[in-house]
Amino acid sequence: MKLLERILKYQIITSLCVLTLGAVLFYLSVDYLIDREVNKELMRSKAKVSWQLRHIDELPVYILQLGDSLQLDQVRYPGQMAIVERKLFNEFENEYQPYRQLIFYERVEGAWYRVTISKLLAQRKQLLEAVVMTVTFIVALLLISLLLLNSWLSRRLWRPFYKTLRALDSYQVEQHEVLTFPKSHTVEFEQLNLSVTQFTDRLAATYQNLKEFTENASHEIQTPLAVILSKIEGLFQDESLKESQLVALSEISEAANRLAKLNQALLLLTKIENRQFLAGTEPISLVPIINRKLRDLEDLIEQREITVKTDIEPTGPVMHPALAEVLVNNLLTNAIRYNVNGGAIEITLNAGKLVVRNTGAPIHIEPELMFERFRKEGTHSASLGLGLALAKTICQVNGQTLTYETDGPWHILTVTW
Amino acid sequence: MKLLLIEDEKALATSIQNYFQRENFICEWAADYRTAVDKINIYRYDCVLVDLMLPDGDGLDAVRELKRNFPETGIIIISAKNSLDDRITGLNLGSDDYLTKPFHLSELNARVQAVIRRRSFQGSQQIRFGKIQIDPQEHLVLVDQQEIVLTRKEYDLLVYLIANKNRVLTKESIAEHLWGDDADLMDNFDFIYTHIKNLRKKLMDKGCPDYLKSIYGVGYKFSEQ
C-alpha cells in the first residue's frame, strides 16, 4: 500500500470517528435544549390552564397549540404532579407517535380534576434526520476533498521522492555511478537525496577498491605460481635428475597447477559475486555455446561411451555472453565428470528452461547441498568442487534459478529464467 | 630468432630466458616499461612477450608503441589479468596472442613459434622434424612425402610435440594444450596416452622412427635420438 493511501486510510478512519462522535454530541445537546423547551412550554400551558380553570367556567380551545391536547378527568383525590412520555395514537398521521404529558391536579368548585396536557414530540425525529443528513453530507464532502488532495499531493509534492526511487531502482554499482538529483524544496526529500548521493559516492569508491583489490590479488598470487611452475618445468629438462626426483617434481607440478586453477576459479566466483560482469542487454542463444562445447568435449564423450541426446531450440536468457559460456561449460563438464562409463546425457533447451540430465552414481546428501563450495561426492580429485557453486552464483546474479534433483540414476540440473 | 621479454618478475624472466636459450633463441629481457620502450626503438625483434602490469607503466602502451613503429613484430601478451576486457583490448590492439599466468613454458614456446611462423612471410612456413613435414596452413602432414591422416587432436599434439622437441613435456601441459580448461575433466592421464599411442602408431606405420619417448612419472619427450 502506498504511503499516501495508508495516510488516507487513517485520515478517513479518524474523520469518521470524530464526525460520528460530533454528531452524537450535537444530537444530545440539541435534544437537551428541545427537551427543556418542551417542558417550559408544558409549564406555561399548565399556568394558563390553571388560571382558566379558576377564573373561567369554560375552557377556550385556543389556549393550547395545535397538535397538543388537553384532557380533564374528575378524580376523587389529587395526586403528584408528573411529566411522562408515552406513545399515543395520532389520528391525523394514523400512527403511534411520541407525546410528552404533563399531569397535574386542580380543584374546581370543590371537585378534583386530573388535567393531562399532551404535547407531540415531532421535533425529535426531525432533528435526528437533520443531524444524520448533515453528517453524511460532511463525510462525503470530506472524503472527496481528501481523495482529491491525495492525488494532487502524490503528483506534485511527492514527485521528487518518486524520482529518487526510480533512480535507486535502476542503480547499478557496476557502472561506478554516483546519483545526483535536482534541488528539492522539501527538507526531507533534500536530506534523502543528499544521503543517497553520499551513499552512492561511497559505494562507487568502495566498489572500485574492491575490484582493484581482487585484480591485484589475482596478479600477486598468479605471479609466484607462474614462477614455481616455470622453475619446475626448467628442472624437468635437467637430465641428471633421478627417476624418483622426477616423480616428486611431477607431483609438485600437479599440485601447483591445481592451486593455480583453484585461484582462478575463486577469482571468477568473486568477480561474479561482486557483479563485475555487467548484466546482459539482450537474450543470447545458448545453442551455439552448447554445440561448441559438445564438439570440444567430443572425444571425451566418445572415450567414456556416453550417449548425448539434445533437444534444443534457439533460445536463451538475457545475460552476459561470457557468463552464459561459463554456465553452460560448468553444467556440461559436470554432466560428463560425474557420469558413468556408458552413461547418457540429455540436454533440453526451450523457452525459459535449460535442463541437463545425466546418469551417475547416487549421491548420499541433499542434492541442493552440491551447490556449496568445495562440496564433492566421492573421490574425484581432479575436480575443484567449485563448478556447481559457480553455476549457482551465475544464476543468482542473473535472476535465474538453478535446481538439482535426482531421479533414480538420473541427476537433473535445471536452469529457469 | 630474437625475442624481447618485458616482465618485471626476475625469477620468471630467468626461467623463460633459459627455456628459449635452449631453443637457440636470443631472448632479451626488459624489467620495466622505460627499458622496454628503449629496446623496442633500438633493436628489431621477431616476437615480443609483454606483461601488462609493469612497475612504471602499462604493458598495453608498449603494445601500442610496437604496433605504431614495427607492425611486423609478433606480440604475445602474458598477464596475470584474466579479465575479458584486457584480453579483448590486447587482441584489438593487434597482439597475436594472450596467455594467462601461470602458463607452461612449453605452451608459451609453442605459441611463440606459431606467431613467428605466421609472421615470416618470406621464409618457409613449413614445420620440419626428421622425416616429418607439416604444412600448417593446409593442416597437412607428410612423412617421406606420403600424407598421413590425423585427427584434429592428433595434429595439434604433433605440432605441440615438435615445437617442444628435445624437451620433457608433462602430461598436464599436453592435456592443457589439447583440452584447455577441460583438461581437469580427465581423472587420470590415460586419455592422453590413447592419443599418443595412436599418433605414434600412425607415424611408425609410414616408416618414421620412434621419436616419442615416455618419461616415467612425468610425461613424454619428442626427439630424434
Inter-chain CB proximity B53 and A329 less than 8 Å: no
Tell me how far apart the alpha carbons of residues B7 and B30 are, in angstroms, rounded to a whole number: 6
Q: What is the pLDDT of residue B26?
A: 93
pLDDT tens digits for range A160-169: 888 888 988 8
List, for residues A367-379, the tens digit of each pLDDT value: 888 888 777 766 6
Do both A309 and A262 map to the same domain?
no
Query: Do A95 and A117 share a domain, yes or no?
Result: yes
What gap in Å lies between CA B54 and CA B79, rounded to an integer? 10
Same domain flag for A291 and A382: yes
Task: Note the pLDDT of residue A308.
Answer: 93
**What is the arithmetic mean of pLDDT over A116-125?**
78
- Say which CATH topology domain B127-222 has: Arc Repressor Mutant, subunit A (1.10.10)
Domain assignment present for residue A400? The answer is yes
Radius of gyration of chain B (CA): 18
The residue extents of the domains of chain B are 2-119, 127-222
State the CB neighbour count (10 A cutoff) for residue A212: 10
Q: Is B19 on the interface with A (CB under 8 A)?
A: yes
Same domain, A249 and A324: no
Instruction: Using pLDDT thresholds of 50, 70 and 90, give the confidence band for residue A288.
Output: very high
Asked if A257 and B187 come within 8 Å (Cβ–Cβ), the reply is no
- Cα A175 to Cα A264, A281, A286, A388, B38: the distances in Å are 24, 14, 26, 28, 38
Q: Which residue of A has its CA nearest to B192?
A: A300
Residue type, B141: V
CA B78, chain centre distance (Å)? 12
Residue A68 domain flag: yes
| Domain presence at residue A353 | yes
Residues A388 and A356: their CA atoms lie apart, in Å, by: 13
- Domain boundaries, position A249: 169-276
Confidence label for A344 from pLDDT (cuts 50, 70 and 90) = very high
Comparing A9-18, A72-81, A274-283, B60-69, the range with the smallest average pLDDT is A274-283
Read off the pLDDT of residues B140-193 as tens digits, 9 standing for 90 and up: 899 888 899 998 889 999 999 999 988 889 888 898 888 887 776 665 667 788
Q: How would you class A306 by CB atoms within 10 Å of its CB: exposed for 0-12, middle for 13-18, buried for 19 or more?
A: buried
Min Cα separation A273/chain B (Å): 15
CA-nearest residue to A321 within chain B is B84
Q: Which of A243, A276, A309 is the last residue of a domain?
A: A276
Q: What is the mean pLDDT of chain A?
A: 84
Q: Are residues A118 and A250 in the same domain?
A: no
Q: Tell me, what DSSP letter sits at residue B189?
A: T
The domain boundary, picked from A276, A300, A329, lies at A276
Give the ranges where A237-320 is alpha helix by DSSP (H).
243-273, 287-296, 298-303
**A–B: how many Cβ contacts below 8 A?**
115
Quote the ipTM score: 0.84
Let me know if residue A121 belongs to a domain.
Answer: yes
Over residues A391-403, the mean pLDDT reads 88
Q: Is residue A11 part of a domain?
A: yes
Candidates A387, A395, A389, A339; CA nearest to A368 is A389
Contacts of B218 in chain A (CB under 8 A): 236, 246-247, 249-250
Residue A107 has a pLDDT of 82
Does A31 lie in the same domain as A70?
Answer: yes
pLDDT over 70 for what percent of chain B?
94
Domain B2-119: CATH architecture, name and number where available: 3-Layer(aba) Sandwich (3.40)
The pLDDT tens digits for A220-255 are 888 889 899 999 988 988 888 888 898 899 889 888
Spatial CA neighbour of A207 closest among A248, A176, A231, A230: A176
Number of domains making up chain A: 3
Residue A160 within any structural domain of the chain:
no
* B80:A300 CB<8 A: no
Domain membership flag for residue A226: yes
A19 & A108 share domain: yes
Q: Under a CB-based contact definition with an 8 Å cutoff, are residues B66 and B33 in contact?
A: no
CATH, residue A319? 3.30.565.10
Give the torsion sign (CA, A101, A105, A108, A113): positive
A132 and A82, same structural domain? Answer: yes
Q: Given a cut of 80, is residue A173 above it in pLDDT?
A: no
Q: Tell me how far apart the alpha carbons of residues A107 and A121 are, in angstroms, rounded to a whole number.
A: 29
Average pLDDT over residues B118-145: 82
Q: Is the peptide bond preceding residue B102 cis, with omega within 30 degrees of 0? A: yes
**Which residue of chain A is at minimal alpha-carbon distance from B165?**
A237
Same domain, A367 and A399: yes
